[in-house]
Structure 1
Amino acid sequence: MRAAVYYGANKVEIADVPEPSPGAGEVKVQVGFNGICGTDLHEYFAGPIFIPTEPHPLTGAQLPLVLGHEFSGTVTEVGDGVTGVHAGDRVAIEPIYRCGHCGPCRVGNYNICQHIGFHGLMSDGGMAEYTVVPANMIHQLPENVSLELGALVEPMSVAYHAATLGQPQADDTAMVFGAGPIGIGLWFALRGKGLENVYVVEPSATRRAAIEALGATTLDPTSLDVAEFVADTTDGRGADAIFDAAGVEPAVNTALDCIGARQPLVSVAIYEKPLTTTLQRLVMNESRIQGSLCYTSADFDAVIDLMSQGRYDTTGWVDTIGLDRVVDDGFDALHAGAKMKVLVDPAEVAA
């Protein structure tokens, strides 16, 4: 079968690899669509970072391996001992490997497992025609949720998990910094939780236009004093919850100027450069920074339910390409800012 195999920085090849078969407790999936994630970009342009160069403690895998951890597909075969999953089921994959015995795992927080692994980063993944996953990664898709949307369940669950940690109430004022895919996902999640007053802060005119087309209200920090606007809008109270999906210091500093007393700034970004923000700003406001990592099964179920209600829309920000175009029209286009989100269709063959 055809697959996108990662060998190291700037080296991904579309290769013929053996088609996998499910073992006990495993499920074989014909991949419908696989999203390219920011983590994939980091690995391609600067890796290996998370992809192991020695056997991973949970999966035993190391590079070279097949990329892809954001994907959906159709079950074609189940291994011994698998129940509740059948050939023909349309599914999204929750790609976390967890040890089950570390402190976080024992209390149910397996998204911060001390030995965490991801299908498609620490094992052969979904940027291929077929892949095999443990049965506990399977989430059924309703008939009215397309496989394209199904491939977005994973990144949208990252955003939904962060939105939940912010504990917003329906009448709150919330802010999202960054209108990339996770920022868009945060806007969808907050709207799905009933919030009407959500402002998305984004300096890129292209990204502002994309999320505005979905119905969002945006603020341009290059032409507006965002903190002053929020103070005026909230009668001096400040925002009730802020979410940083930008990952740059100017966004964090502006967010801290906007946050209300005793309210959270939830960070769901990866910071490539160290922040110099001081804790004094938090102390004087009794506000806090809350980290957010990945998701749990409950987040997947919540996102799939919202998708079945028609609360997510891919118009204007999602492109689909074939596997043969994954480098030029995928990694390179995303890195250059020419596209926002790319789904890879392994069944599409170049003419």
Structure 2
Amino acid sequence: MRAAVYYGKNKLEIEDVPEPTPGEGQVKIKVSRNGICGTDLHEYYDGPIFIPPTDPHPLTGQCMPLTLGHEFSGVVTEIGPNVTDIREGDRVTIEPIYRCGECRPCRTGHYNLCNVIGFHGLMADGGMAEYTVVPSNQVHKLPDNVSLEMGALVEPMSVAYHAATLGEVNDQSRALIYGAGPIGIGLWFALRGMGLTEIDVVEPSETRRRSIEALGARTLDPTKQDVTALIADRTNGNGVDAAFDAAGVAPAVQSALECLGERRPLISVAIYEKPLPTPLINLVLRERRIQGTICYTAADYSAVIDLMAKGHYNTTGWVEDVPLSGVVEKGFEQLRAGQKMKLLVDPTT
């Protein structure tokens, strides 16, 4: 079978590799689509970062080289021993977290914070391939009315949904999102799914503003509008109930904190490439806080899949397919250049 095998910085090869066979507690998946994540771009252009270069990961036993891909869906084609709740032919999406089950986060249900966490496609051969093998506890079945293409978006949409829950909002809340990339779009969908109607998305890129506006979002251009003053005016000086940073730049963090109401959170969903100044004065004087977020749990997956089954998510204008054979030239390079929004790798092409 063909797979996108990572050998290190700027080294990703489309190769013929042996098809995997499921072991005990595992299932084999024929991959339908695999989304390209910002983490994949970081690994390709700047890595290895999370991918173990030489020492095998303690939960997977793998290290570089390995097949990329952690945002994927497909069809179960083979069942390993002692798998009882999954059948061949099931249409599924994958929650790619490896967890130890023994550390305190795992024991308290927060396995997304596992002390030795691993990810399929980063610490084990992933979904940028025709087939892959996963533990059965990573498998989520898709309803009949959720397409496999949509199923490949469950992982990034669950990242956004988990972050949205940490905002402690309800249908009467007002929220502010910084960044209209895939996670920003996912945040908008998640908050809308929670009943919020007063949501502003701050995005300097005209292309990205148009993409999310086409979905029904209300946007602000920080290069032409004083976001802090505008939000103060709209909220009678009270500020928003939650802000979400999916931009990952210092001006977004500063603006978000200035727009927050008292004792309200800024949820940081971004990966920051450069150290940020810590604006403690904005935290101290109004008892605001910055809340980190990472990944998701099965509850977030279930919530996203349920919303997808209700037709809540719309991929028009921001999601496209790319062939496995062109994953670097037509995928990584175009995403890095800002020419595309979200790309799903089709391993059959």
TM over 0.5: yes
Report the Cα distance in structure 2 between the residues aligned to 1:325 and 1:304, rounded to whole angstroms: 29
In the other structure, the counterpart of 1:146 is 147
In the other structure, the counterpart of 1:15 is 15
Deviations 1:109-153 (A, max 9, x none): 100111000000000000000000000000000011011110000
Report the Cα distance in structure 2 between the residues aligned to 1:148 and 1:193, rounded to whole angstroms: 24
Deviations 1:232-290 (A, max 9, x none): 11111100010100000000000011000011100011000001132121010111111
Structure 2 residue 96 is the aligned partner of structure 1 residue 68: no
Report the Cα distance in structure 2 between the residues aligned to 1:172 and 1:160, rounded to whole angstroms: 16
In the other structure, the counterpart of 2:26 is 26
Report the Cα distance in structure 2 between the residues aligned to 1:280 and 1:171, rounded to whole angstroms: 28
Report the Cα distance in structure 2 between the residues aligned to 1:45 and 1:275, rounded to whole angstroms: 22
* Partner SS, residue 257 of structure 1: helix
Q: Give the drift of 1:83.
A: 1.1
* Partner SS, residue 62 of structure 1: coil
Structure 2 residue 123 is the aligned partner of structure 1 residue 122: yes
Report the Cα distance in structure 1 between the residues aligned to 2:108 and 2:280, rounded to whole angstroms: 29
Query: Is the 1:177–1:244 Cα contact (8 Å) retained in structure 2?
Result: yes
In the other structure, the counterpart of 2:216 is 215
In the other structure, the counterpart of 2:59 is 58
Report the Cα distance in structure 2 between the residues aligned to 1:280 and 1:226, rounded to whole angstroms: 19
Q: Give the drift of 1:347.
A: 1.2
In the other structure, the counterpart of 2:84 is 83
Structure 1 gaps, min length 5: none
Number of positions where the alignment pairs a residue of Structure 1 with one of Structure 2: 348
Instruction: List structure 1 runs of 4+ shifted beyond 6 angstroms.
Output: none
Report the Cα distance in structure 2 between the residues aligned to 1:150 and 1:279, rounded to whole angstroms: 41
Matches within 5 A, 1:1-351: 1-53=1-53, 54-348=55-349
* RMSD, aligned CA: 0.6
Aligned AA (2:340): K
Identity %: 68
Report the Cα distance in structure 1 between the residues aligned to 2:346 and 2:146, rounded to whole angstroms: 17
Report the Cα distance in structure 2 between the residues aligned to 1:29 and 1:169, rounded to whole angstroms: 38
Q: Give the drift of 1:195.
A: 0.3
Please report the TM-score for the alignment, with normalisation by the length of structure 2. Answer: 0.99
Aligned AA (1:14): I
* Partner SS, residue 262 of structure 2: coil
Structure 2 gaps, min length 5: none
Query: Is the 1:253–1:277 Cα contact (8 Å) retained in structure 2?
Result: no
Deviations 1:178-210 (A, max 9, x none): 000000000000000000000000000000000
* Partner SS, residue 199 of structure 1: strand
Report the Cα distance in structure 2 between the residues aligned to 1:161 and 1:106, rounded to whole angstroms: 19
Please report the TM-score for the alignment, with normalisation by the length of structure 1. Answer: 0.98
* Partner SS, residue 209 of structure 2: helix
